[in-house]
Amino acid sequence: MAGDAGRPVLKVRDLTVEFATEDGVIRAVDSVSFDVLPNETLGLVGESGCGKTVTGLAMLRLIPMPPGRIASGSIELDGRDLVPLPNRDLEDLRGRDISMIFQEPMTALNPVFTIGNQMTDVLCRHRDLTRRQARPVAAELLAKVGIPEPADRLEDYPHQLSGGMRQRVMIAMALSCNPKLLIADEPTTALDVTTQAQVLEQFRVLQAEFRMAVVLVTHDLGVVAETCQRALVMYCGSIVESGTTADLFSRPRHPYTAGLLASIPRLRSERLAELPVIPGRVPDLLNLPAGCRFADRCPRVQERCRAERPVLTGRDSGVACHFPL
Amino acid sequence: MKIVGKKFPRKAISVLFVGLNRLISAFLAIFLVCSLAGCGPPSGSGAASPALKTFHFAMDQAPTTLDPVQGANIYANFVIVNAYDTLYSYQYLARPYLLKPNLAVDFPTVSADGLIYTFRLKKGVRFIDDPCFPGGRGREVVAEDFIYSIKRQFDPENQPQGAWLWQGRITGLDEWKAAGSDYAQPVSGLRAIDEHTLEIRLTRPYPQLTATLAQGYSALVPREAVEKYGKGLGVRPVGSGPFRLVSYDTARVVMERNPNYRQEPVDLAAEGYNPATQKFSGVEAIQGRSPPFIDRLEFNFINESSASWSSFTKGDEVQLTVLPIEQIDRVLASKRPVTLRPEYAAKYHVYGGLEAGFVFTAFNMDYPEFGYNPDPERERRNQALRCAMLKGYDWEARNHSWYFGLGEYFPGIIVPASPEFDPALSRASVTRDVAGARKLLKDNGWTPDNLPTIVYGTTAGTTERLFFEQFRAWMRDIGFPRAKVVQKTYANFGDISRAWKRSQLPLVAKGWGLDYPDAENTLQLFYGPNASPGSNDANWKNPEYDRLYEESSVLQPSPERTALYHRMNQIVLDDCVAITGISRTRIYLWHKNVIAVPDREILGGFWLKYVDLKPEPANIPALVKGG
Amino acid sequence: MEILQYALRKLLAGLPLIFGVTLVSFALMVYFGPDMTYQLLGKNPTPEQILEVRHQLGYDQPFLQRYLGFLREIVTFNFGESSTGEPVTALLAKTIPVSLILILPGFILGHVVGLLLALAAAYWRGRWPDKLIMAIAVIGMSVSFLIVIIGFQIVLSSSDGLDLFPVRGWNASSLGSYLSYVTVPTLATMFVALGYDTRFYRSVIVEEMTRDHVRTARAFGLPESRILLRNILKNCLIPFITRVMFSIPQVAIGGALLIESYFGIPGIGKATYEAIVTGDQPVLKAVVSLTAILFVLVVILNDVLYRVVDPRVTLK
Amino acid sequence: MNAVTLPLTAPNRASGESLWHKAARKFGRDRLGMLALGVVLAYFLVALGAWLGWWAGGWADLTGTKWEPVSSAHWFGTNIIGQDIFDRAVFSTATAFEVGLSVALAATFIGAVFGAFAGFFVGSWIDEFLLWCMGVLDAIPFYLFVAAVAYALTDNPWAMQVAMIATFWVGTGRLIRGEVIKLRGMEYVEAAHSIGVSELAIIFRHILPNTGHILLVQASITFVSAIKAEVILSFLGLGIKDGMSWGLMIDESTKEVLAGFYNNFLAASLLMFGLVMAFNAVADALQDALDPRKVG
């Protein structure tokens, strides 16, 4: 299931997102550039707070504004820049060309409307259907994501479903208009392990069927290894390394990536306590160091790292490090 | 660098604005309907057809009940004397006030010893038609109705308020009450000789008896109505007066003409008409015609004088009102005599009437701090203290700030509206003398440290509070520390009455309205046996005064009696038992299309049946005509 | 059926509340309240007459006996006659409708306009329309009701002002006269309520706007206005209903007091206030028990409405 | 489900100490809030001066004649009996603070204690009883309740305040109850329990201090409510007994405004508006600063 070569579905260039807080302006995403190719699954990995979720939200311009704003950069979907797009056009696009599913299935659905109601809302919005026509379509979609007795489920309210079921409903909604690109923000984090596996499997099947590109935002390297062809590693708002999943996992070049990989528990490792941990803490986003942002935690830090900020060496496959592994 | 902002999505705006637009157009529609329906100054008569002559006027309070047995309050009395008949009433235009027969044919014949009164009632007078009568048709008013009505004042079941007028005066009446107020039992002193002749026997001479029969308490109530409506009579009067009740709530009372009211053409001369002072009112137009002249009578109860004033000035919402004191400077061109500024004179008539009553502040002599004291020396110093406070009181300022200089302050307790008033009396007791007061205090050993604390009781209210603050400031001038003059407020008149009646207030500031034009009515306020809970709130007991009072109370009006009154008045003054007093002036304004000489003293609402309206509307301000 | 059963159960559960309200109000307003005796006495009473009147009014009975008598009156809904002699039920029947039609327009408009303003403020939150609306709301909250009434009366009704409406009084005999009398009170109530209502509605809406499901709706391209007016609004209904419902007893009985006394409108607020001032116990008793019952009914209705608008709520 | 959802959520317990620090810092940066606080402090100084007798001591003296216009001797003119309106308005500022502070402090204190007890013993008879009290007080219309209390306590100069306290504590009580229900489940409370700290000590030493942010905001809201209620109650004749207040001045002015004398009305209503407005703004700023979700 290798990504088809060709024009990227999504081209992100120099994307910078800032948040105005009480204490000053925070740059949550700092000059991020990447491409998403048709049909591929791109992983966006990093610790929480590294800016990966904000990047995902920025793809749909869902960042709450204010306090957030896209300070610069472009997000081109099929050659059309979303950043300057008027809200109305953007609304037409959301859910149709580009969809998103969220981490928390418990709260992401509106508790006072039925599943069917919420699904038909989306269907009627983007496909030329009446409410009556939309219902069987919605049921069909639910069946596709593996929900039994879909017609009955349409009458249910979200609180009547389990977490896994709800996430499937979200997926069904996201797929309902056959989007070119799907942003999945930690879609399985809130689920238990068994459900997680089921949902991911479903995900893969559906991706093949719907032939869409997926950006999978996650902190879970295991999920990336299983699902993604390529991955971007983010740290403090910037991409520190990019490459194919295989390359990243076998030959990490950024010390941070290496650290992340080392901290994954493997079946072989005897005791959890012996797992290596990246020392130190993520720097305060308000007072970022001038040089490499990983410098304080890096075992290989040198004088240059503190003075000069490294740049990513290549877009599809590169590393932002003066002294890569 | 591009800054992405959220643009106004047109759809959202349109949704919101369609909503707002609808709302606004709804408002406009409401206002349109409203203006089409004649929103402007609505004719206060509401549903009444324009052909009906309606007179609406403002009073500052609502009556609490319309049952004559509880007709103590002036507002209730206004309605009661128009719904019911009394044996006597007052001449419409005579000042000072003079009695005249109303339901009685004439003044009573009195036996030589002054104990037996015989009254003759008019024949053919009927109660209004009401379901309480057989067949719904009002029956004739007879002497028994009067007896029944007086008995009601002695039946505790009714919580009567007027019994004190006849208590201990009419033979057998108190015994009748003591025996359980059984209406089937006769009262020896009240006898119907025939249907239209009544005899009253007294225990001792009571020169004021006839005057008490002009009060609402003595109004004739048909037994059938009491039996049918019980307490409901308070909201449903059934009488034989010039008007009958249409509706009654806390905001207004509406009455309509009693179509069967007896025909009695007005004789202005007999009503005490004085062309020199009353011609302006156009009252000559009613000469020879039978009242009532208006079809509907509306009493509007408006507490806020500002509101009643705007109602009055804006159109014919209210056609007659008392001029609020705060408007006096704006409206009056001169105070003595009362005349209006031209812009008001073009629209309104004005009449200033001196109150038949007064306002005074009595010391409660029960308080040893400044009243009676076991120590004769202290009692003597207390008297000096009271006299000093009298000297410190500033009647001039009080009159200026509260009555715009229109009130009349006078020494003693015989009010100017009493026939026995003595204009020659020395005004020393109402002339402020701060130096004299300070000297008096000093000479009698009073210092800021040993002066007693004076508690000044009032009801809750702005005016009352300002009265107090003014009083405190005056007392500070004569040497009282601020902390020694304190106010005590009571929620309502009932509560402060309780304090008075229980002798719990050191300083009693109150007003008294005359029940009849006889100084006896105010002199009894200091009669020893009337001490609390009676009307002698000062609890003053002076043997000489009490003896003179008893001596005078059985005398018919005469120079001898007047001389006794004057002696009593002087005793009150000499003992400095009260800071007294002032009679206020009420200024009435009314639209020029109204023919009336209004008043509310003693007369109560008797004058309302003589009110007439000129045909032209009030708002075309009678152009030059009235001026 | 479920709702009916529930309501019955709640009504039973509401009995302690009714008991409490009546007990407290009885003690305050009736037992320790103003003494009517001295108002009923004439100008020159004797001690004997005072005792007679107190006996007539029942003041000489012990507290418990009087309170039990009151409970009996509540059960039979017979409060006797007011001090004017009018049956209390007749008085209520006369005054309550007046208060209702007096207060309703201002009450409804206050909430509706408040909600509209709140929606506008929430829609443009952080921008100038929001700031303007919220500034006006704070100003509205800071002006005393009394000052608003006096001000509106001067400006709209007096001959010194626009002179558009009657200064005071009440006449609802026709639509036109009703509107002319009700307008100034309505505007005054609205003006005062608006600040509080707008702020409340805005804060609820803005709180709801931060929820995940709103982001979901946005991510699926639902238009902002639709999200606001449909998705968010429905989620806000519970706090809205609570606010509206619980202001009903206050507004129905207490809220009209100031308006009624200032504009001389014969409604239940004024009647009750006068009953307190004069100590007219039959009227007080009736109003107190009505209030308590109304409050319990509102609590029940409130719960039932929750059930209607929020599927997660069950009536237990 | 019939509990009303409470708008405030628990503050970040981990940084309990720094919450106040942060809030203070945040408040300091709120320019409007600081301005409003300055205005309130200015009013307070005026009130303080009146208490200490520095000024406005002549509010009760007859220093002029009736209804004098504005002059250098009488900055706001004089009233109907010749008292200086400026002095009276200034003195009323002290009254406003007396009423506002006494009611706010007492109502907040009672609300905090009762709310904490109800919340801590949630479900027990104590909770039931306190909820019943709150329900009863909620069910009686405010002005009628105040009128009734005022009459029941005729002689007491504090009748109005007592009535306000008796009703205003309920709102705070409900909020605190909800908050305490949340807090009692926190680990540190359970820890205190397990090491045998007495329940009273837990409530007063461990739980109540953590509701301080709610109490502060509630107290400021109650302060404003009390000042506003005083005006209406004074108009109804149920207000301040001895002394001077804006409510009494406005009551005085109702008769004067239609006579064209606006000094009393303007002096009292503008001064009151200024204080209430500033206090509302302070309350808002406090709420913003103390809202844990917004603490940056």
Interchain pair A62, C219: CB under 8 A:
yes
Cβ contact D248–B462 (<8 Å): yes
CB contact under 8 A, D26 and A22: yes
- According to the 3-state scheme, what is the secondary structure of C84-95? CCCEHHHHHHHH
> How far apart are the C-alpha atoms of C21 and D136, rounded to whole Å?
5
Secondary structure element (H or E) that encloses residue A74, with its range: strand A68-77
The residue assigned the tokens 């639209």 is: B591
Closest Cα in chain D, distance from residue A24 (Å): 10
Cα(D2)–Cα(C305) distance, integer angstroms: 11
Instruction: Tell me the shortest Cα–Cα distance from A286 to chain C, in angstroms.
Output: 23
Instruction: Give the pairing of strands B252-257 and B243-248.
Output: antiparallel
* Domains along the sequence of chain C with CATH: 88-309 (1.10.3720.10)
The answer to the question of residue A124 being in a domain is yes
Domains and CATH numbers, chain D: 15-289 (1.10.3720)
From the number of C-beta atoms within 10 Å of its C-beta (0-12, 13-18, 19+), residue B423 rates as exposed
Q: A23 — contact with chain D (CB < 8 Å)? A: yes
Please check whether residue A231 lies inside any domain of the structure.
yes
* Pick from D214, D146, D139: nearest CA to D176: D214
Q: Give the CATH number for residue A18.
A: 3.40.50.300
Same domain, A122 and A230: no
Q: Is A84 on the interface with B (CB under 8 A)?
A: yes
pLDDT digits (tens, 9 = 90+) for D47-79: 999 999 888 888 888 888 888 889 888 889 998
The chains found to touch A (3+ Cβ pairs under 8 angstroms) are: B, C, D
Q: What is the DSSP string of B462-502?
A: HHHHHHHHHHHHHHHHTT--GGGEEEEEESSHHHHHHHHHT
User: For residue C41, what pLDDT band results from cuts at 50, 70 and 90?
Assistant: confident
Is the pLDDT higher at D257 or at B122? B122
Residue C244: half-sphere exposure toward Cβ, Cα within 13 Å? 23
Among residues A142, A161, A177, the one where a domain terminates is: A177
B494–C36 C-beta distance less than 8 A:
yes
Q: Is residue A5 part of a domain?
A: no
CA distance C12 to chain B (A): 36
Phi-psi region of C169 (alpha: psi -120 to 50; beta: other; left: phi over 0): left
Is the CB of B9 less than 8 angstroms away from the CB of A70?
no
Of the residues A60, A89, A106, A112, the best mutation for testing chain C's interface (the one with the most C CB atoms within 10 Å of its CB) is: A112
Q: Is residue A117 very low, low, confident or very high in pLDDT (cuts 50, 70, 90)?
A: confident
Same domain membership, residue A288 and residue A143: no
Do A39 and A85 fall within a single domain? Answer: yes
Cβ(B55)–Cβ(B594) below 8 Å: yes
pLDDT for residue B39: 36
Q: Are D29 and A21 within 8 A, CB to CB?
A: no
Whole-angstrom Cα Rg for chain D: 22
What is the average per-residue pLDDT within C97-124? 90
CA angle B372-B377-B379, nearest 5°? Answer: 20
Confirm if A118 and A201 have CB atoms less than 8 A apart. no
Residues A171 and A192 in one domain: no
Look at residue C25 and give its three-state secondary structure. Answer: helix
Q: Which residue of C has its CA nearest to D236?
A: C258
What is the C-alpha separation between D67 and D84, in angstroms, rounded? 9
Q: How many CA atoms lie within 13 A of B236 on its CB side?
A: 19
Chosen from A22, A23, A285, A287 to mutate, greatest number of chain D CBs within 10 A:
A22
pLDDT band at C316 (very low <50, low <70, confident <90, very high): low
Structure tokens at A216: 């999978």
Minimal CA–CA distance to C306: which of C252, C257, C235?
A: C235
**A190 and A67 in a common domain:** yes
Cβ atoms of C149 and C259 within 8 Å: the answer is yes
Neighbour-count burial of A148, counting CB atoms closer than 10 A to its CB (0-12 exposed, 13-18 middle, 19+ buried): exposed
**Cβ <8 Å between B4 and A65:** yes
Residues across chain B? 627
Q: Inspect the interface and report whether the beta carbons of C278 and B492 lie closer than 8 Å.
A: yes
Distances in Å between the Cα of B229 and the Cα atoms of B67, B76, B130, D81 are: 11, 18, 11, 49
Give domain status of residue A107, yes or no.
no
By Cβ distance, the residue of C119, C167, C266 closest to B251 is C266
A234 shares a domain with A203: yes
Which one-letter DSSP state was computed for residue A21? E
Query: Distances in Å between the alpha carbon of B292 and those of B57, B613, B617, D206?
Result: 16, 11, 20, 81
In angstroms, the CA A10 to CA A32 distance is: 13
Q: pLDDT digits over C185-204, tens only?
A: 899 888 888 888 898 999 89
> Tell me, what's the pLDDT at A5?
53
For residue A103, being part of any structural domain is answered with no
pLDDT at C139 over 60: yes
φ, ψ dihedrals at D224, nearest 5°: -65, -45
Q: How far is CA A240 from CA A49, A229, A259, B374, in A?
A: 15, 18, 13, 105
Contact A107 C219 (CB under 8 A): no
- Judged by CB atoms closer than 8 Å, whether chains meet at D255 and B310 is answered as no
What tokens does A69 get? 């704003």
- Within-domain flag for A102: no
For residue A157, the enclosing domain spans 112-177
User: What is the helix (H) or strand (E) element at residue B309, kind and residue range?
Assistant: helix B305-314
Q: CA A75 from chain center: how many Å? A: 15
Given this model, what pLDDT does residue B471 score? 95
- Find, among C36, C43, C51, B245, the residue nearest to B234 by Cα: B245
Contact D230, D96 (CB under 8 A): yes
The backbone torsions φ and ψ at residue B146, rounded to the nearest 5 degrees and listed phi first, read -65, -45
Q: How far apart are CA B236 and CA B246, in angstroms?
A: 9
Indicate the average pLDDT of chain C. Answer: 84
- Whose structure tokens read 């007066």? B241
What is the pTM for the complete model shown? 0.79
Nearest to D41 by CA among D281, D284, D287: D281
Residues of chain C found within 8 Å of residue A61, distances taken between Cβ atoms: none
Residues in chain A within 8 Å Cβ distance of D295: 22
Alpha helices in chain A (DSSP H): 52-59, 87-93, 105-108, 115-126, 131-144, 150-153, 163-175, 193-210, 221-227, 245-250, 255-262, 303-307
Which pLDDT score, from 0 to 100, does residue D234 have?
Answer: 83
User: What does the pLDDT look like over C219-231, one tens digit per residue?
Assistant: 888 888 888 888 8
d(CA B392, CA B414): 22
Over range D204-214, report the average pLDDT. Answer: 85
In angstroms, the Cα distances linking A112 to A64, A105, B469, C309 are 23, 15, 63, 7
Q: Name the strand (E) or helix (H) holding C275.
A: helix C268-278
Say yes or no: A148 and A190 in one domain: no
Q: What tokens appear for A22 in the block?
A: 């009480």
User: Mean pLDDT, chain D, as a whole number?
Assistant: 84
* pLDDT score, position B378: 94
- Within 8 A of B330 by CB-CB distance, chain D residues are 259-260
Portion of chain C with pLDDT greater than 70, in percent: 97
Report DSSP state, residue B195. T
The whole-number pLDDT of residue D15 equals 42
Query: Does the distance separating the beta carbons of D261 and B489 come in below 8 Å?
Result: no
User: Is A92 in the same domain as A136?
Assistant: no
Characterize the bridge pairing of strands B88-90 and B109-110. unpaired
Which position has the token pair 């599927």? C311
Are A18 and A47 in a shared domain?
yes
Query: Are the Cβ atoms of D255 and B488 closer than 8 angstroms?
Result: no
Q: Which of residues 118-137 of D touch C (CB under 8 A)?
A: 132-133, 135-137
| Beta-carbon count within 10 A of A321 CB | 23
Of A62-71, A227-236, B289-298, B613-622, give the lowest mean pLDDT range: B613-622
Say if residue C87 is preceded by a cis peptide, omega within 30 of 0: no
| pLDDT the model gives residue B455 | 92
Question: What is chain A's alpha carbon radius of gyration, rounded to the nearest angstrom?
Answer: 20
Residue D83 clears pLDDT 50, i.e. is over it: yes
pLDDT at C90 over 70: yes
CA distance A56 to A223: 17
Residue of chain C minimizing CA distance to A66: C126
Which pair of structure tokens corresponds to residue D41? 């402090």
pLDDT < 50: residue spans in chain B: 1-48, 618-627
Mutate to test the interface with C, among D9, D129, D144, D233 (most CBs of C within 10 A): D144
State the average pLDDT over residues D135-146. 82
Q: Parallel, antiparallel, or unpaired: how do β-strands B54-59 and A318-319 relate?
A: unpaired
Among A20, A16, A17, A32, CA closest to A286: A20
A3 within a domain of the structure (yes/no): no
Residue A129, in any domain of the structure: yes
D173's CB contacts (< 8 A; 6+ apart) are D110, D111, D112, D114, D115, D118, D130, D134
Query: What local confidence, expressed as pLDDT, does residue A265 receive?
Result: 61
CA-to-CA separations, B301 to B78, B352, D227, in angstroms, rounded? 12, 21, 31
The answer to whether the Cβ–Cβ distance between B487 and D79 falls below 8 Å is no
Give kind and range of the element (H or E) at residue C186: helix C175-209
Distances (CA, A) of C283 to C70, C270, C278: 12, 12, 11
Q: How far is B489 from chain D (nearest CA, A)?
A: 7
Q: Cα-flanking dihedrals φ and ψ of residue B563, to 5°? A: -65, -40
Q: Which residue of D has its CA nearest to C30?
A: D148
CA distance C158 to B326: 16
Amino acid at A54: V
Query: Which residue type does B541 have?
Result: K
| Residues of chain B found within 8 Å of residue C34, distances taken between Cβ atoms | 491-492, 494-495
Q: What are phi and psi of A171, to 5 degrees?
A: -65, -45
**Scanning the structure block, which residue is given the tokens 């007693």?**
B452
For residues A137 and A38, membership in a common domain is answered with no
pLDDT at position A276 is 61
Backbone angles phi, psi at C189, to 5 degrees: -60, -45
Pick the most confident of A46-50, A307-311, B236-240, C152-156.
Answer: B236-240
Question: How many domains, in total, are found in chain A?
Answer: 2
Residues A189 and A280 both lie in one domain? yes
In this predicted structure, the answer to whether residue C103 has a pLDDT above a threshold of 60 is yes
Candidate from A65, A72, A84 with C-beta closest to B6: A65
Structure tokens at A12: 């992100």
- The whole-angstrom separation of Cα B301 and Cα B298 is 10
Q: Does the pLDDT of residue A170 top 80, yes or no?
A: yes
What's the CA gap between B505 and B517, in Å, rounded?
29
Same domain? For A183 and A279 the reply is yes
Q: Any idea what DSSP says for residue D204?
A: I
- Residue D116 is encoded by which pair of tokens? 């904490």
